[in-house]
Amino acid sequence: MKLSHLFTLLLAAMTGVSVFAAEVPLKSEAEKKTVKKAVPKKRAKLTLAQQIKAATTPVQYKRHVKRHADKKAYAAANKDKIKILMLGDSITHQWEYKAAAEVQKKYISPYPVLNLGCGGDRTQNTIWIVEKSGILELIKPQLVTIMIGTNNRYDHTATAAGIKRIIQGVRKHYPQATILLYAIFPRGKDKDDMLRVRNDKVNAEIVKFCNGKDIIWVDIRKNFLTPEGILERSMMPDLLHPRHAKGYSVWGESLRPYFEKVGK
């Protein structure tokens, strides 16, 4: 123990004054401001009308720019070949990952597909692709797949409104195309997981947009789950993205008959 500290303790014992408070130095004004800044601010709760506006307003972020530019160049170079368009988030995007090479080779590569899925996308990002990117004007697909919404953090009504606008935009571009609207895949371990509950509520709304003719509802949620409704990590390691060998095979088998109908 340092002599100065020992002297302080002896002085405290003689005077009866506690020194423990003095041992903790007071923060400077700059430090106090830093502490205040480090406290996260609570997000303002949006009204349903504000959530719907957010979910239906076209948005492009910096992370999209290169991918969209590359996809636009590819679409322009292959505009007469592309017959299938895929729209979605990271789950769709990951068909292109190296880890998915084998399933992609089996289910996607043999067909004239343009994959515009992008990691992290929400409905508003897909709306931007459909309405603002200029990519859809370059191609004339016969089949369009849509699976989006798991990244939205809104009331299910707002997410459904975003998906409806995507469908309307696709139909405006391609009056004769068949649209496959996929139920948002299950996530979370079981049926009580809040994220799965939210997705299920969205699915209950968006199924109403399908007519069984040119807008077809495809629901393969049960194919990812055990009979008890459990989502195992052997199927989706992070309880969100399908495992490339196993999970994407489930999706691929559901796509196969539609892709085969379009042809190579």
Distances in Å between the alpha carbon of 220 and those of 5, 99, 109? Answer: 71, 22, 22
Spatial distance between the Cα atoms of 43 and 38, rounded to a whole number of angstroms: 15
Catalytic, out of 4, 80, 234, 238 = 238
Q: Is 133 a catalytic residue?
A: no
Residue found by looking up tokens 């489930």 in the block: 250
| Tokens, residue 240 | 């969100």
Q: Is 238 a catalytic residue?
A: yes
| Tokens, residue 164 | 């409806």
In this structure, the number of other CB atoms found within 10 A of the CB of residue 174 comes to 19
Q: How far apart are the first and last CA of the chain?
A: 82
Catalytic, out of 64, 93, 156, 241 = 241
Helices 194-206 and 156-173: crossing angle in degrees, nearest 10, is 40
Catalytic, out of 4, 90, 193, 219 = 90
Residues recognised as catalytic: 90, 238, 241
